[in-house]
Amino acid sequence: MLEAMLSEPLPALTDLALGLVALLFAVRGAGAGVGRTWRRMFWWAAIAALAGAVHHAFVTFSDAWTGPSWALISAMVVITISYALAATVEDVLGPGRGRIFWALRMASLLAYAVLAAFGYYGVSTIVACEGVTMASVLVLWVLAYRRAMPGSGPMLVALAANVVAGITRAMPSSLTELVGLDPVSLYHLAQIPPMALLYVAIIERSAMPSPASAELDVAVDDDASAR
C-alpha cells in the first residue's frame, strides 16, 4: 500500500520521524532555556528532515525534480551545521568571538554552492565541504573539556554519537538489511539518539554561566577580596 503511495516509503517515514523529533526540540527549547543559536540549529535540522521526507515520498517520482530538490535539502543541512558551529563558538569562547569561524563558514558555503551548481551535491559533497566545520566543532569541545568547562563531557558524548550515526550511512545494504532497513533509513533513525543527547547537553549548559559571565564573576570576587 505504502509502496503505491510513496516513492521511497522507508526513507520518507524515517526522515519524517527525525524531523518531528528535531521540531519538538526546537519548540521546547525556548521554554527550556536553550540559547537562540542552538534553537535555530534545531529549527533548520527539522526543516531539512521534513523536506527530506517530502523528497523521498513524492519528489523522487520525478527524475527532473529529484536533483534540484536534493541540492536544496543539502543546502539546508549545511546551514544547520553552520548554526552548530556558531553556537559552539558562543558557548566555548564566549559571545562576539565567532568572526573568524564565520569566515571559515562562508568559505565552506561558497565551496558547496560552486560544487552544487555543477551538479555535485549530496552527502559526499557535504562531508567534503563541512569536514573542516565539524572538525572545528569537535576541537572546540575537546578544548572545553581539557579546560574542565562544565557540560563539555555530555557535549562530546553527543558529538561522538553523531559520528557513529554518520558511519551507518556508509554501511553496505547487505548489513543494514539485517535490521530490515536500507542505509539511508537507518541513517535517519541513527541521528535521533545523538540529537536527543545534544539537546540534553545543551540544557545542562544553558543552566551554567557563560565564559564571559564566569570571568565577570571571578573579577567581582577578586575585587571584593581586594577590599
Q: What share of the chain is helix, strand, coil (3-state, %, to 5)?
A: 85, 0, 15
Q: Select from 220, 217, 195, 218 the least CA-distant residue to 43.
A: 195
109-118, 130-139, 189-198, range with greatest mean pLDDT:
189-198
The answer to whether residues 156 and 141 touch, using CB atoms and an 8 Å cutoff, is yes
The residue among 55 and 90 whose pLDDT is bigger is 55
CATH topology of domain 2-206: Rhopdopsin 7-helix transmembrane proteins (1.20.1070)
Task: Dump pLDDT digits (tens) for 156-210.
Answer: 999 999 989 988 888 888 888 888 899 999 999 999 999 999 999 999 887 766 5
CA 110 to CA 11: how far, in whole Å?
A: 29
Q: Domain extents for the chain?
A: 2-206
CA 163 to CA 134: how far, in whole Å?
A: 10
- pLDDT for 86 equals 87
The residue among 147 and 136 whose pLDDT is bigger is 147
- pLDDT for 117 equals 72
* 215 confidence band (pLDDT: 50, 70, 90): very low
Q: What is the mean pLDDT of residues 130-142?
A: 84
CA 14 to CA 49: how far, in whole Å?
A: 9
The answer to whether residues 186 and 179 touch, using CB atoms and an 8 Å cutoff, is yes
Neighbours of 74 (CB within 10 A): 20
Whole-model pTM over 0.85: no
- Joined together, the cell numbers standing for residue 106 give 562562508
- Joined together, the cell numbers standing for residue 114 give 560552486
- pLDDT for 127 equals 63
- Joined together, the cell numbers standing for residue 215 give 570571568
